[in-house]
Homo-oligomer: A and B are copies of this chain.
Amino acid sequence: MSESAASDSATIPRIGIIGTGAIGGFYGVMLARAGFDVHFLLRSEFDAVARNGLRVDSQVHGPLVLENVQAYASAADMPRCDWLLIGAKTTGNGGVASVIVQAAAPDARVLLLQNGLGVEEELRAELPDSLHLMGGLCFVCVHRTGPGRITHQAFGAVNIGYHSGPADTATRGKWVEEGASLFHQAGIDSVAMDNLDKARWQKLVWNVPYNGLSVLLNASTTPLMADADSRALVQGLMAEVVQGAEACGHVLPEGYAEQLLKVTGHMPDYRPSMYHDLTEKRPLELDAIYARPLAAALAAGCDMPKVRALYHALAFIDRGNR
């Protein structure tokens, strides 16, 4: 492990990565290389990573190799961590609470690096009150290519908001800033979001069209942007999500959807995580990314008919894919 960042181990937060897939692996490697004390929980890839380490083939930073990974097959073996970064799928959140409880220091900050809506609410009920629960929205193009191997294509920012826990309103900002600071020290953009629910809706403007259409149309971002019809469909879905957010009280920045559209048109060709979930026969993250936003918007009086049609189609595909 690189030792560049810090020598005074007492002041260095210990970070645990729960779910070392593309997201957890990428950020974990970046933080470890910056000198943080990072511990990785793995399941099927434990042997491979304990033996060969983690490797991020980054098209931005070059190849990043982390040898001698502090890897664990069981949360019970991990040291108590000050920060826990949850990179596991929302579809696996059923078992994640007990893992967190085992790996968390008494006032640990738990940062959910997941997409979709309502993911903190679901987890909060199962966590001790002493733990801080936060959400992180990752704007990054990464995917797993094999055991302990990740390709990083572009971007990396993590926007962080406080969800719930022992901090009062005045001190929430302190924890959010600490989280952002971890990422900054690792060379990663991070913005503190004062409204996590709004930040989640904002992220959905990208995830709803591109994740779903990559599955439905078996297409990555470049062909989706190049065709007039799929592009119109992306725009139509984005517009509905912006309306849904507004119905739920979150007015997104003017021109936000157009900006995402432009960025996506210029970024390297990318297959969103849901596409990889499909091809690897994992459950699709439909509750967090579709069902809960649909329910929240509908409860606020806003139907999102194109999003609903896409959701039904994906649910049919998901059921046939298990």
Q: Are B306 and A232 in contact (CB under 8 A)?
A: no
A217 to B320, CA, bound (A): 10
A199 to chain B: closest CB distance in Å?
26
List the B side residues contacting A232 at CB < 8 Å: 312
From the candidates B219, B223, B313, name the one contacting A217 in the complex (CB within 8 A): B313
Q: Are A236 and B309 in contact (CB under 8 A)?
A: yes
Q: Are B227 and A316 in contact (CB under 8 A)?
A: yes
Chain A positions 297 through 315: 1 when the CB is less than 8 Å from some CB of chain B, otherwise 0 = 0000000011011111101
List the B side residues contacting A312 at CB < 8 Å: 229-230, 232-233, 236
**Across the two chains, which residue of chain B brings its CB closest to A311?**
B229
List the B side residues contacting A229 at CB < 8 Å: 311-313, 315-316, 319
A26 to chain B: closest CB distance in Å?
31
Q: Find the residue from A230, A306, A312, A317 having the highest chain B CB count within 10 A.
A: A312
A312 to B315, CA, bound (A): 19
A99 within 8 A of B: no
Question: How many positions in chain A have a CB within 8 Å of any CB in the partner chain?
Answer: 27
A244 to chain B: closest CB distance in Å?
13
List the B side residues contacting A223 at CB < 8 Å: 320
A216 within 8 A of B: yes
Q: Are B227 and A319 in contact (CB under 8 A)?
A: yes
Contacts known (A233-B316, A313-B217); A308 close to B308, Cβ less than 8 A: no
A234 to chain B: closest CB distance in Å?
9
A226 to chain B: closest CB distance in Å?
10
A305 to chain B: closest CB distance in Å?
4
Q: Are B230 and A313 in contact (CB under 8 A)?
A: yes
Chain A contacts with B in 26-50, Cβ cutoff 8 A = none
List the B side residues contacting A317 at CB < 8 Å: 217
Q: Are A305 and B219 in contact (CB under 8 A)?
A: no
A306 to B312, CA, bound (A): 11
A312 to B309, CA, bound (A): 12
List the B side residues contacting A313 at CB < 8 Å: 213, 216-217, 229-230, 233
Q: Are A219 and B306 in contact (CB under 8 A)?
A: no
A178 to B48, CA, bound (A): 77
List the B side residues contacting A310 at CB < 8 Å: 309
Can you add 10 more A-B contacts, CB < 8 Å, to A229-B319, A309-B309?
Answer: A216-B313, A217-B316, A219-B316, A223-B320, A227-B319, A229-B315, A230-B316, A232-B312, A233-B312, A306-B306
A-B contact pairs, 22 of them (CB 8 A): A213-B313, A216-B313, A217-B313, A219-B316, A227-B316, A229-B311, A229-B315, A230-B312, A230-B313, A233-B309, A233-B312, A233-B313, A236-B308, A236-B309, A236-B312, A237-B309, A240-B305, A305-B305, A305-B306, A305-B309, A306-B308, A309-B310
6 closest cross-chain pairs (CB), A and B: A229-B315, A233-B312, A305-B305, A306-B309, A229-B312, A230-B316
